[in-house]
Amino acid sequence: MDVANFFYLTLLSIIAFLNLPSLTSSQSCKNSCGNIPIKYPFGTGLGCGDPRFQKYVTCNQDKLTLTTHTGCYPVTSIDYNNQVIYISDPSMSTCACTQPSKGFSLDWDAPFSFHDDTVFTLLDCSTTSSPIYLASGYISENSSTTKVPQCDRTGAPICSFLYSCRAISLLNLPISTCCVYTPVDLGPSFEMDLQKLQCTSYSGFYSFNGQESNPDNWKYGIALKYKFNVYNEYPSSCSSCERSNGVCGYAGAYNTFVCNCANGLNTTSDCFFGGAFNHGSRLIPGQNGVSG
């Protein structure tokens, strides 16, 4: 074997070694879940996206789900430009269907807050015993008691429109049993516990869809805002990773950034050739031409 041949064979084995993960494993972090594109800070599994979001938003069998202590909610879409995530609640009432619900709450430590567009309407509340009808002075007398938000009187038309929906009008409820919460914050613990509030069900929407008087066409669901970090900056390492078709993730005891590349390999920067790999070596330019 001459020197040139030996060199060539060595090169081939290095290439084979570097390509091995692409034969045995595919990209562990996906860039979509069903038909929803997945980008930072969301991820499709453990080690993908941002660790703060991973426990709340997960992808299972092509379904993206937000989990809080009150339940699991299908994610309907994500507006990455405006940093808004839209969810639906299967227990929520709409113009088409009313049903009992326990309510909706965010976890106090979740990296989400209600978007200003979200309007909650509590339905069929007890006018004699629900705390939402008590004077706020009475409630704040005991400072250890959670301050309950009061109904928004300017929201009365919303109650009229909703109560005129066929499904709701069948219940024949007095309009006084309806309460609009806006802006939604649900107090310091983000709780809407309908049992505590003594209401039977609720409705939530985030847009009149241009037709305020036509509740059939309102966009029902819940809009939540999210922030990347305290300065709300998109991590630059992640944007270069995504530009190279990688998916941002994290690994190790300190949740350090990894870029999960299409060939299954993880880098500390991006998936362009010459990117620094986590094992310290570099990809050989042109490997795809030689092996493919």
Ligand X SMILES: *[C@@H]1O[C@H](CO)[C@@H](O)[C@H](O)[C@H]1NC(C)=O
Cβ-based nearer residue to ligand X, 87 or 265: 265
Nearest CA among 193, 196, 156 for reference residue 177: 156
Sheet holding 199-207, edge to edge: 179-181, 119-125, 199-207, 219-220
Cβ-based nearer residue to ligand X, 21 or 71: 21
Cβ-based nearer residue to ligand X, 77 or 268: 268
40 close to 50: Cβ distance less than 8 angstroms: yes
Cβ-based nearer residue to ligand X, 66 or 265: 265
- Shortest distance (Å) from residue 21 CB to ligand X: 5
267 close to 275: Cβ distance less than 8 angstroms: yes
- Shortest distance (Å) from residue 252 CB to ligand X: 9
Whole-angstrom distance, CA of residue 89 vs CA of residue 66: 10
* Alpha-helix residue ranges (DSSP H) falling in the chain: 3-24, 51-54, 136-139, 156-163, 166-169, 194-197, 236-243, 287-291
State the residues that interact with ligand X by CB under 6 A: 21, 28-29, 47-48, 142, 144-145, 249, 251, 258, 260, 264-266
Cβ-based nearer residue to ligand X, 208 or 272: 272
**Helices vs. strands in the chain: H and E counts, helices first:** 8, 15
Say whether 185 sits in a helix, a strand or coil: coil
Cβ-based nearer residue to ligand X, 47 or 111: 47
Query: Which residue's Cβ has the minimum distance to ligand X?
Result: 47
- Shortest distance (Å) from residue 272 CB to ligand X: 17
Q: Is the dihedral of CA 91, 94, 99, 100 positive or negative?
A: positive
- Shortest distance (Å) from residue 169 CB to ligand X: 38
